[in-house]
């Protein structure tokens, strides 16, 4: 049986197909990362291993939730199975210091914290912004500092350079992200008289596809992610960053439940060790993210 397809649906499908071509098939966001050098293996610290909860010591591993569509924090490698990026490399180094294995599992971003609540994961590493609102429910071990970027089509045809330029325009963003919340706050303040038309999407890539198709004039995302995508997608000829300086810098952290303080403290101690021995800087350099170096390894450092 032949189905009739609405013309607007056909236009959307055509735009999606074009965007998938730009994004190298829509199944793999890796951009030459296979050539990156492996990170120096860490030695187990028995004292830090003993800080771990008894059940984690007995299991010899932790389950880490992530959303593997957010490069350079995490992405699927060329095999479409292996998860690579800053978070997997850092998580592996922390696990080596603690003497345990780390297992990263891909989950939709807006379901990560719910899965943590339900015990599916021991912790979450997914480039998640540490905010006061989130700190009321979760604990964070901070490991990176990032601002926000406005991603536009190459050439910036709409002349978008700052928050006021977003007012009255369709802007795409990752659903349930801090950036989505910030856009809502802009509508209450800078854009109160001419609100942003906020479009929330399941992945950061979906948001970029809206910009590529012309359905949105910009995407709002973390600076490190925006810079990576502008540099790598379409050979660097598809997108650019509209703002000249990163906006509203905030810390990013590893997320734990409020009850899991022992695991939190062990990971904080391990993070301090990899910072001190240089492995942290090595991982940042590997993913071209040294500009976000955050060497305090604080707990709940939201600003």
pLDDT tens-place string over residues 84-138: 999 999 999 999 999 999 999 999 999 999 999 999 999 999 999 999 999 999 9
Six-digit token string for 87: 């978070």
Determine the pLDDT at residue 17.
44
- How many Å separate Cα 209 from the centre of its chain? 17
Give the strands of the sheet with 83-84, arranged side by side: 69-70, 74-76, 83-84
Determine the pLDDT at residue 35.
55
Alpha carbon distance 85, 135 (integer Å): 25
For the domain made up of 33-145+251-290, the CATH class stated in words is alpha beta
Of 297, 260, 270, nearest in space to 124 by CA: 260
Determine the pLDDT at residue 245.
87
Which segments of the chain have a pLDDT < 50?
1-21, 25-34
Q: β-pairing, 170-174 with 197-201?
A: parallel
Backbone angles phi, psi at 227, to 5 degrees: -65, -40
Q: Per-domain residue ranges for the chain?
A: 33-145+251-290, 147-248
Determine the pLDDT at residue 255.
98
Specify whether the CB–CB gap between 177 and 143 falls below 8 A. no
Specify whether the CB–CB gap between 126 and 64 falls below 8 A. no
Q: Is 227 strand, coil or helix?
A: helix
Instruction: List pLDDT tens digits, range 3-29.
Output: 343 333 333 344 444 444 455 544 444
Alpha carbon distance 218, 213 (integer Å): 11
Q: Is 256 strand, coil or helix?
A: strand
Q: Could you tell me the CATH superfamily of domain 147-248?
A: Periplasmic binding protein-like II (3.40.190.10)
* Same fold across 33-145+251-290 and 147-248: yes
């Amino acid at each position: 049986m032949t189905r009739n397809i609405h013309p607007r649906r056909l236009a959307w499908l055509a735009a999606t197909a074009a965007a998938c071509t730009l994004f190298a098939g829509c199944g793999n966001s890796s951009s030459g990362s296979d050539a990156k050098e492996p990170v120096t293996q860490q030695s187990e610290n028995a004292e830090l291993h003993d800080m771990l909860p008894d059940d984690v010591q007995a299991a010899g591993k932790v389950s880490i939730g992530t959303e593997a569509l957010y490069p350079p924090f995490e992405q699927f490698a060329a095999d479409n199975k292996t998860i690579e990026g800053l978070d997997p490399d850092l998580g592996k180094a922390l696990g080596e210091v603690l003497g345990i294995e780390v297992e990263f599992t891909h989950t939709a971003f807006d379901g990560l914290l719910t899965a943590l609540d339900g015990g599916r994961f021991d912790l979450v590493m997914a480039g998640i912004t540490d905010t006061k609102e989130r700190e009321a429910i979760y604990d964070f071990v901070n490991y990176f500092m990032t601002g926000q970027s406005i991603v536009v089509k190459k050439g910036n045809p709409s002349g978008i350079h700052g928050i006021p330029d977003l007012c009255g325009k369709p802007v795409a963003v990752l659903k349930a992200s801090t950036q989505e919340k910030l856009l809502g706050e802009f509508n209450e303040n800078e854009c109160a008289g001419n609100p942003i038309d906020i479009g929330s999407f399941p992945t950061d890539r979906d948001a970029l596809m809206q910009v590529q198709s012309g359905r949105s004039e910009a995407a709002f995302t973390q600076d490190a992610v925006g810079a990576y995508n502008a540099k790598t997608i379409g050979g660097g000829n598809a997108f650019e960053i509209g703002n000249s300086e990163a906006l509203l810098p905030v810390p990013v952290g590893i997320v734990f439940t409020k009850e899991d303080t022992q695991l939190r403290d062990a990971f904080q101690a391990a993070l301090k060790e990899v910072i001190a021995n240089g492995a942290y800087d090595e991982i940042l350099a590997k993913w071209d993210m040294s500009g976000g170096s955050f060497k305090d390894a604080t707990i709940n450092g939201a600003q």
